């Protein structure tokens, strides 16, 4: 059947997707690239001037840009490993056949379904230094109240806790789906061979979940590297610049200072850095898929 | 017989010739009357407004107090007002983007005067109202009734009327009279030095559990615009140049006034403020004051209402308002302006001229709004309900404004960052002041003020 489909026919079937992608991805991307070579300052008249590589030169010399990149990378390192481990453990627990399994699954998925800015506002109340529930909980154990969002040493940790709370369910969902795909026969065969629970997990579950976890890692690395709404709602990048990750800095350049050319340039560099960070993970997935194809 | 018929016909014709213009006139006059009655008549006291814009929809950036009055206007005119809610930064950003498209999606808006240079000077997006003000069929503007500082600063730009003042905004010193009495303090501080000393006495552990639970001052030191407001107030009240620049347009933030202002925020005021005040904007300060967590603070009139409202404030009966320290305050203020590219400028003007009318302003004040009209601020009935109205007038008299340059908003954002950096201990006041100065000078240089 497949051999019967000619090349031009395939193109026609793909045309709607190509058209939509061109409109919503390619055009804005190319337009942003075009804008990035211009000085376009809305606050002072909004006229666009071609300035060549000047925005790129300014950005590369801008210490705040690089410190924003650094904070975003730190944030990724703080949240993604925890979300992957925690998500996998919870998913495995939720996969055990117990009473109320569906209810627990639902409960754990809820945080993911709330809009990030709403989550940020909720957590602002939770983190409130005087009235917040978190400090109240600490007080039960005689631990002094913390200024979660106002202390530069704690602020990024506070944002990370929120992110882990909200995005671990995504990993749970992925891993749960991955676990359903593992054939029971494999476990049964392993049991016959005398494998214990840990060995089954180490040599069956984990290898089967490898691609799922890599996929989850890619999504989470990209998403957390670009984190914006929760930080904007929680700290606006403060105190000082303690939580001013690169997307907050780019937003401020574009939509607070209205330097659209410079902001487009920063966004482009951010895109390139994101690609550099995620390409090894994508390559790893592709290799794994190719290896599986070769085996089968 | 034929002759009679002919004569009768001629008489009828002549009668008709006379009668027709008469009936025509009569009919025409009736239409005009009805037009005057239904479409042109304006009587704000009776709630009669022109109907000729019936069916028009206008999009307006408002405040909750304005929103409370919209149904009355819609009923009187048949105009549908779509209210857009946005805070300080949100309003600025929406306007800047809307003006850049030149489509006039937002017909009218509240705006802060410090955006004049940018919104009018550079973006040229605000409609001058002088021509509309001469047209009949709209409520009287009664410009003489505005507080002069408010009309001149919020309403006029280069001699043209470009906005109708809606919020007579100025920073007030708010204090808790009960806490003052308990500490034996008789009157509010007159200088920032006095304020810090009083604040130390009022920063205490009230329940004896070893944890301080009452602070002397509610410092707005977060990464929002109020940090810049507090800094500007302190900068001006310590002799800083109004408008931030010397004659050569060199920034004056690295002067003793600038360093002193940041030092006060980062050290003296921070020491008598709750530890999380470096995340606070106005809402957090008002909330802390209303919950009895802080004894003093700088407050905008918009927050005063909440602090004396018993359903929202634990200290409603103990609130006092006074002159901002050092006999100097910061002028805020909002006006209603019309988008130059609006497709419905007259309907929008009708809304704003009605909204800012002296009679409507009484209702606006009753809804919790802060008027900019003298008649409303001095209205005895209103002063009984809103005891801070005299303090507004007192502070307005000694208030100093933000800059109106096109770069004003960008500099305000620089000030916010400098103040928050200093309050959070990320930079020393001296470093933050110097960096603020350098960034501002670079901005002015980039914009061609000097080489």
- What number is the average pLDDT over the span B285-309? 92
pLDDT at B247: 93
The strand ranges marked E within B42-149 are 57-62, 80-85, 108-112
Q: Does B424 sit within 8 Å of A152, measured CB to CB? A: yes
Which of A145, A149, A258 comes nearest B96 by C-beta?
A258
Which of A43, A44, A236 comes nearest B223 by C-beta?
A236
- What number is the average pLDDT over the span B297-315? 91
Residue A25 lies in a domain: no
Residue A179 lies in a domain: yes
Coil, strand or helix: which one is B41?
coil
State what percent of residues in chain B have pLDDT above 70. 91
Is the confidence at residue B18, as pLDDT, over 50? no
Is the confidence at residue A143, as pLDDT, over 60? yes
CATH code where residue A265 lies: 1.10.3720.10
Q: If you measure CA to CA, which chain B residue comes closest to A234?
A: B279
Q: A99 burial class (0-12, 13-18, 19+ CB within 10 angstroms)? A: exposed
Contact yes or no for B269/B196 (Cβ under 8 A):
yes
ipTM value for the complex: 0.72
Q: Does A236 sit within 8 Å of B413, measured CB to CB? A: no
Contact yes or no for A126/A146 (Cβ under 8 A):
no
Burial B39-53 (b: 16+ CB within 10 A, else e): eeebebeeeebbbbb
Residue A236 lies in a domain: yes
Is the confidence at residue B15, as pLDDT, over 60? no
Contact yes or no for B163/B337 (Cβ under 8 A):
yes
Query: At a CB cut-off of 8 Å and minimum separation 6, what does A74 contact?
Result: A156
Q: If you measure CA to CA, which chain B residue comes closest to A40?
A: B100
User: Six-digit token pair at B186?
Assistant: 């008789």
Residue A134 lies in a domain: yes
Category of B165 on φ-ψ map: left (φ > 0), alpha (ψ -120 to 50) or beta: beta
pTM over 0.80: no
Rounded CA-CA distance B33/B433 in Å is: 66
Residue A50 lies in a domain: no
Domains, chain B, in order of start with CATH, read 46-162+334-371 (3.40.190.10), 172-332+399-446 (3.40.190.10)
Give the count of beta carbons closer than 10 Å to the beta carbon of residue B158. Answer: 9
Coil, strand or helix: which one is B51?
coil
> Phi and psi for A14 in degrees, rounded to 5?
-85, -15
Residue A209 lies in a domain: yes
User: Six-digit token pair at B393?
Assistant: 């007038």
H/E element holding A145?
Answer: none
Chain B hits for A152, Cβ within 8 Å: 424-426
Beta pairing partners, A53: none
Domain that holds residue A107: 64-295
**Angle, to 10 degrees, between the axis of helix A206-225 and the axis of helix A152-180?**
140
Query: At a CB cut-off of 8 Å and minimum separation 6, what does B393 contact?
Result: B147, B377, B378
Q: DSSP state, B296?
A: E
Rounded CA-CA distance A16/A20 in Å is: 6
- Which pLDDT tens digit goes with each residue over B112-148? 888 887 777 767 789 999 999 999 999 999 999 998 8
- Which pLDDT tens digit goes with each residue over B31-48? 333 334 455 788 998 889
**Angle, to 10 degrees, between the axis of helix A152-180 and the axis of helix A116-127?**
130
Q: Does B100 sit within 8 Å of A240, measured CB to CB? A: no
Distance, in angstroms, between B174 CA and closest chain A CA?
A: 21
Beta pairing partners, B334: B112, B167
For tokens 């780019």, the residue is A250
Is the confidence at residue A114, as pLDDT, over 60? yes
Rounded CA-CA distance B344/B53 in Å is: 9
pLDDT at B7: 54
Number of domains in chain A: 1
Residue A258 lies in a domain: yes
Q: If you measure CA to CA, which chain A residue comes closest to B88?
A: A256
Residue A40 lies in a domain: no
Is the confidence at residue B363, as pLDDT, over 90? yes
Q: Does A128 sit within 8 Å of B274, measured CB to CB? A: no
- Which pLDDT tens digit goes with each residue over A71-89? 999 999 999 999 999 999 9
- Which pLDDT tens digit goes with each residue over B146-201? 988 888 888 888 888 999 999 988 999 999 999 999 999 999 999 999 999 999 99
Kind of pairing, strands B329-331 and B399-401? parallel
Kind of pairing, strands B108-112 and B334-338? antiparallel
The vertex-B72 CA angle with B67 and B77, nearest 5°, equals 115
pLDDT at B408: 87
- Please give the full DSSP string across A76-122, using - where no structure is assigned: HHHHHHHHHHHHHHHHHHHTS--TTHHHHHHHHHHHHHS-HHHHHHH
For tokens 């600063």, the residue is B153
């Amino acid at each position: 059947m497949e051999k019967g489909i000619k090349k031009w026919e395939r193109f026609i079937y793909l045309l709607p997707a190509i058209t939509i992608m061109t409109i919503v991805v390619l055009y804005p991307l190319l337009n942003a690239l075009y804008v990035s070579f211009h000085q376009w300052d809305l606050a002072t008249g909004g006229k666009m001037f071609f300035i060549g590589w000047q925005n790129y030169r300014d950005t590369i010399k801008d210490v705040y840009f690089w410190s924003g990149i650094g904070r975003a990378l730190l944030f990724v390192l703080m949240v993604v490993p925890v979300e992957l481990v925690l998500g996998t453990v919870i998913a495995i627990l939720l996969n055990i056949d117990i009473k109320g399994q569906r209810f627990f699954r639902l409960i754990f998925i809820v945080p993911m379904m709330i809009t990030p800015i709403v989550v940020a506002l909720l957590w602002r109340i939770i983190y409130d230094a005087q009235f917040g529930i978190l400090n109240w909980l600490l007080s039960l154990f005689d631990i002094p109240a913390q200024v979660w969002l106002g202390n530069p040493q704690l602020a990024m940790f506070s944002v990370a806790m929120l992110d882990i709370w909200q995005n671990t369910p995504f990993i749970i969902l992925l891993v749960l789906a991955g676990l359903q795909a593992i054939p029971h026969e494999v476990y049964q065969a392993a049991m016959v061979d005398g494998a214990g629970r840990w060995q089954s997990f180490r040599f069956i579950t984990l290898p089967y979940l490898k691609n799922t976890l890599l996929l989850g890692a890619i999504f989470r690395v990209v998403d957390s590297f670009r984190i914006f709404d929760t930080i904007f709602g929680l700290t606006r990048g403060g105190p000082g610049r303690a939580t001013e990750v690169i997307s907050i800095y780019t937003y401020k350049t574009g939509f607070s200072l209205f330097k659209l050319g410079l902001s487009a340039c920063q966004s482009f560099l951010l895109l390139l850095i994101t690609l550099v960070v995620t390409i090894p993970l994508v390559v790893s997935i592709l290799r794994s898929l190719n290896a599986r194809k070769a085996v089968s | 017989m034929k002759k009679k018929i002919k004569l009768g016909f001629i008489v009828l014709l002549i009668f008709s010739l006379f009668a027709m213009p008469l009936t025509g006139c009569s009919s025409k006059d009736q239409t005009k009357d009805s037009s005057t009655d239904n479409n042109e008549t304006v009587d704000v006291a009776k709630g009669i407004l022109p109907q000729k814009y019936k069916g028009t929809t206008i999009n307006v950036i408002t405040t909750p107090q304005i929103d409370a009055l919209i149904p009355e206007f819609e009923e009187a005119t048949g105009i549908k007002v779509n209210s857009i809610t946005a805070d300080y930064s949100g309003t600025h950003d929406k306007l800047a983007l809307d003006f850049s498209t030149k489509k006039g999606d937002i017909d009218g808006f509240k705006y802060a005067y410090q955006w004049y240079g940018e919104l009018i000077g550079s973006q040229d997006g605000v409609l001058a109202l002088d021509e509309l003000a001469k047209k009949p069929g709209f409520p009287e503007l009664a410009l003489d009734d505005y507080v002069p500082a408010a009309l001149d600063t919020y309403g006029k730009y280069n001699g043209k009327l470009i906005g109708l003042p809606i919020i007579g905004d100025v920073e007030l010193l708010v204090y808790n009279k009960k806490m003052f009495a308990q500490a034996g303090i008789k009157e509010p501080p007159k200088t920032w030095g006095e304020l810090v000393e009083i604040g130390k006495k009022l920063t205490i552990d009230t329940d004896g559990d070893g944890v301080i639970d009452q602070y002397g001052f509610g410092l707005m030191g977060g990464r929002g615009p109020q940090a810049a407001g507090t800094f500007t107030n302190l900068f001006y009240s310590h002799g800083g140049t109004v408008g931030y620049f010397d004659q050569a347009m060199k920034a004056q933030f690295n002067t003793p006034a600038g360093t002193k202002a940041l030092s006060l925020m980062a050290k003296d005021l921070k020491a008598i403020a709750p530890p999380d005040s470096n995340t606070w904007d106005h809402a957090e300060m008002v909330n802390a004051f209303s919950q009895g967590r802080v004894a003093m603070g700088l407050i905008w009139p918009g927050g005063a209402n909440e602090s004396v409202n018993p359903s929202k404030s634990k200290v409603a009966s103990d609130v006092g308002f006074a002159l901002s320290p050092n006999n100097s305050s910061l002028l805020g203020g909002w006006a209603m302006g019309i988008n130059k590219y609006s497709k419905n400028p007259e309907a929008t003007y009708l809304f704003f001229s009605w909204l800012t009318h002296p009679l409507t302003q009484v209702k606006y004040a009753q809804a919790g709004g802060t008027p900019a009209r003298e008649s409303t601020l001095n209205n005895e009935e209103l002063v009984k309900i809103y005891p801070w109205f005299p303090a507004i007038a007192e502070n307005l008299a000694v208030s100093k404004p933000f800059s109106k340059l096109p770069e004003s908003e960008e500099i305000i954002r620089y000030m916010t960052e400098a103040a928050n950096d200093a309050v959070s201990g990320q930079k020393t006041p001296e470093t933050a002041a110097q960096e603020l100065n350098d960034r501002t000078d670079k901005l002015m240089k980039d914009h061609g003020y000097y080489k």
